[in-house]
Amino acid sequence: ESALILIRHGESLWNEKNLFTGCVDVPLTKKGIEEALQAGIRICNIPIDVIYTSTLIRAQMTAMLAMTQHRHKKVPIITHNENEQANLWNQIYSKETKKQSIPVTPAWQLNERMYGELQGLNKQETAERYGKELVHGWRRSYDIPPPNGESLEMCSKQAVAYFREHIEPQLQSGKHVMVAAHGNSLRSIIMYLDKLTSQEVINLELSTGIPLLYIYKEGRFMKRGSPVGPTEAGVYAYTETLALYRQELDEMSQRTS
């Protein structure tokens, strides 16, 4: 069995300003940084072997900040495979260092959906300009794209295809995976995992910085909610693998204290 953690990035500077962000590369606010750190605390006892993020800095910041809170203290390292030279210069030549590292793979397919001509516009002002009903359709329908942008359906095709081709095989091989991405790309993946209809997915809301845990076992994905607070013990009780890993972390902590 394998763990799959999904995290929507923390609050960005344009979330704070109520602007359509889409594929514009905007960093986190101070609140977003704190959300990412809190997400890390919530997943600090769950094994993570590989990390996938979008190519946008708000998702990458969230992943990196979250990992500073992990009890295993492995170092997340972004992989660069853009060309042969980048791949060569990114090599780690110590086996021990490599063992204490977690590869982080950025993928554009996990990016937020492209909001076209809405990007950078204030959401409230846009609703007043175009009408609330039309803007609501652009934001919350499954197959209606904003002007020169992507619909959720278009975003879903690329995100789910990437998940099935690259992430699912990692889970099948027994690797534990974290994905830090965006509201729409993660809704698309959850639609696939939970077998939601196009009507169900448009009502799905994901909070910034709240991790969701799935267990992959025998070809099935089982949602375990968010590993936080009073529900944490229940999350670990679901799976022997997570319980043993947490015990290993406790023993490691005792040896170093």
Could you tell me the CA-to-CA distances from 175 to 23, 50, 166 in Å, in that order? 29, 7, 12
Find the angle CA(52)-CA(37)-CA(35) to the nearest 5 degrees.
90
Tell me the C-alpha distance between 249 and 46, whole Å.
10
Torsion of CA 88, 92, 94, 98, to 10 degrees: -140
As for how many domains the chain has, the answer is 1
Residue span of the structural domain in which 65 resides: 2-256
3 close to 176: Cβ distance less than 8 angstroms: yes
Alpha-carbon gap, residue 86 to 84, rounded angstroms:
6
SS3 228: coil
Active site residue 150: no
The amino acid occupying position 217 is K
User: How much is the average pLDDT of 186-200?
Assistant: 95
Flag whether 195 is marked binding: no
Q: Is 10 annotated as a binding residue?
A: yes
Q: Is 176 a catalytic residue?
A: no
14 is in an annotated binding site: yes
From 9, 70, 176, 182, active-site residue = 9
Extract the tokens encoding 80.
């660069």
The pLDDT-based confidence of 247 (bands split at 50, 70, 90) is: confident
Give the integer Cα–Cα distance in Å for 233 and 238. Answer: 9
**What is residue 56's predicted lDDT score, i.e. its pLDDT?**
98
Q: What is the pTM of this model?
A: 0.92
Q: Both tokens of residue 93?
A: 């030549």
pLDDT at 225: 72
How far is Cα 46 from Cα 35, in angstroms, rounded to an integer?
A: 18
Task: Give the closest residue to 110 by CA, choosing from 48, 63, 175.
Answer: 63
pLDDT tens digits, 29-67: 999 999 999 999 999 999 999 999 999 999 999 999 999
Question: What CATH number should be reported for the domain holding residue 213?
Answer: 3.40.50.1240
Tell whether the model's pLDDT for residue 224 goes beyond 90: no
- The residue annotated as part of the active site, out of 112, 150, 176, 182, is 112
